[in-house]
Structure formats: structure tokens, C-alpha cells
Homo-oligomer: A and B are copies of this chain.
Amino acid sequence: MSKSLEKEKKMSQVTDIGSTHEFDLDNRDPTLKNEHVRVWFEDSFAEPDGTHSIDGVWTCSYKTFECSKKCCYIVLSILCGGPCALLWGLMFAMQSCYHIWCIGPYMKSFFIDLGCCAAYWKALVQCYCDPLYESVGKIFGNIRFNHRYEVV
């Protein structure tokens, strides 16, 4: 937790909009959130012993794959990176507002009523069900277990 707090402190300087700052451009996934999305060539393609293609074909495939993946992603990120960031910024703002000013107080009010219902319901159950199940429990009320033990 201490680590996350330090991070927040550092980030709190950053969030002063208007100031320009250098944030970590190299490690873009500090929480390993999208680790499972990472793809290398040897994760997708592999030739076992005995079924090797010609060297040229294999080298060519490798370069084709890496190049096409990289270029395509850069183009797509330029196109949709900005709009997505804007959209999700507004979404999270509205969600925060809804949770802070509506859901929070409603939950408090709901738990007050629920505390009352719980006492009511618990008393009823203890009144009507407990004697029944205690009676059923008499099935196990007199087990006689004759244990004859023989060591070979």
C-alpha cells in the first residue's frame, strides 16, 4: 500500500493540468494490467524438430510478422488514442459523480432499513425453525459406535 501511496503523491504533481511533465514513457504498464496481451513471434509460431521449412522462408515470415504488427498498431493508436481518452475521461467523471452523490447516501439509508428487517427476520426464524431443526438433530443424538480393533 505504501508503494501505491508514494505513487499517488508523485502523480498528484502531475495532475496539475497546465504544467508540462515527463511521465514514464518506457514502462507503460506499471501494474502489469495488460501483460496477457503481449505477443512475440515465438509465442505464435514454432516448428518442432524434423519439420523445418527453408531458412529463408522462416526469416522472411519473422520479419513480415513483426513489421506488420508494429506498423498496424501505430496507425490505429494515432487514430483512436485521443478520442478514446476523451470519452473515457467524461465517462469516469460521470460515474464518480453518480456514485458519490447518489449511490453513497442511498446505500446508507438502505442499510438502516435492512438492519431493522434483519432483527425482525432473525427473531422469526429463531422462533419457528430452531425447534424444528433441533428436533431433527435428535437423529444424531444417541450414536452408539462399537469399535473392535485388531492389529495384524
- A residues sitting closer than 8 Å to B (CB atoms) are 8, 11-12, 14-15, 17, 23, 25, 28-31, 33-40, 42-55, 57-74, 76-78, 80-82, 84-86, 88-97, 99-105, 107-152
Contacts and interface: CB of A to CB of B under 8 A. Distances in A.
Nearest to A39: B92
Contacts of A95: 37, 109, 112-113
Contacts of A69: 51, 89-90, 92-93, 96
Contact of A85 (B65, B119, B139, B149): B65
B67 A115 contact: no
A129 B119 contact: no
Contacts of A127: 114, 117-118, 121
15 contacts: A30-B46, A44-B104, A45-B104, A54-B77, A60-B82, A60-B85, A65-B86, A65-B88, A121-B128, A134-B139, A137-B140, A141-B142, A143-B145, A149-B149, A149-B152
B135 A133 contact: yes
A37 to B, nearest CB: 5
Q: How many copies of this chain does the complex contain?
A: 11
Given A142-B134, A148-B145, A150-B147, A58 B25 contact: yes
B82 A64 contact: yes
Given A66-B89, A104-B45, A123-B114, A137 B131 contact: no
A65 to B, nearest CB: 4
